[in-house]
Amino acid sequence: MMVKIQDSVYLVTGGGSGLGEATAKLLLTEGARVTIFSRNEYKNEFPHDQVLSVKGDVRSESDVKRALEATIQKFGKLDGVMHCAGVFQNGDELFNMDTQQPGDYTVLTDIVTTNLLGTFNVNRLAIPYFLTNQPDEEGQKGIIINCSSTSGHSPMSSAVAYSTSKAAIIGLSYALAKQLSTLGIRVMDIAPALCDTPMFRRAVGFNQDIANFRNLFPARLIQPIEYANAVKHIIETPMLNGSSYQLDGALRP
């Protein structure tokens, strides 16, 4: 039984650029109504009655509550959360091998609070809104899809806080899926590898030849639309629940 995206209502965090923007656009194209929640103002190209833009920070309880309430006020319900917000920064290290000094605590804290605590915050605040929904034919009342990473499965020594936060998101998504199963709420995470997004290119200054990565096929960066297509597939496939969907071109040990 395929879950219908058309006329469903979704909150997409990090929807102003990259994976979140691609996800929001695909859902809108499929006929969904979408609230785009982002630190940056989103320039809307879809009909006003189909999309809502809310500016805020996923770490802020008041900002997330405001986005959720605005969604209900405009669209009348919430069917799912596509949590794509996250950060990846240079200087993500506990110990600098060149200077033999501890890593920058401000950088580490920003990564962990945005990626992990932001995920906790959005997930916990969204759940009550699903409970008022009428269950579909499968008994589903809502769905959450979090964004993890292949580095959550295979940590990168050059991105310690990022890898740690993404591993925690994988664990969170599985634990939450088990807890919420009796309520008719699915929880998944998508673990992409190297993505062609402004955040990734800005942080890494990507000068490496992608073809040199071992086992990677196709030998290129993941396009944001491919992540969005994975979101669509998960939404439409009810038996996908409580697992980590690896979107990585076999880029793993």
Residues in the annotated binding site for substrate: 149
* Rounded CA separation 28/23 (Å): 9
* Rounded CA separation 179/185 (Å): 9
Active site residue 162: yes
**Partners of 148 in the β-ladder:** none
Binding residues for NAD(+): 12-40, 63, 166
Binding residues: 12-40, 63, 149, 166
Q: For the chain, how far is it from start to end, CA to CA, in angstroms? A: 35
Short-list 49, 21, 53, 19, CA closest to 37: 53
Q: Do 115 and 45 meet the contact criterion of CB atoms below 8 Å apart?
A: no
Which amino acid would we find at residue 38? S
* Residues whose CB falls within 8 Å of the CB of residue 73, separated by 6 or more in sequence, listed in order: none
What letters, b where the CB count within 10 A reaches 16 and e where it falls short, cover 145-175?
bbbbbbbbbebeeebbbbbbbbbbbbebbbe
From 162, 174, 227, 245, active-site residue = 162
Alpha carbon of 158 to those of 26, 90, 144, 203, 216: distances in Å?
33, 9, 29, 12, 19
**Partners of 188 in the β-ladder:** 145
Catalytic residues: 162
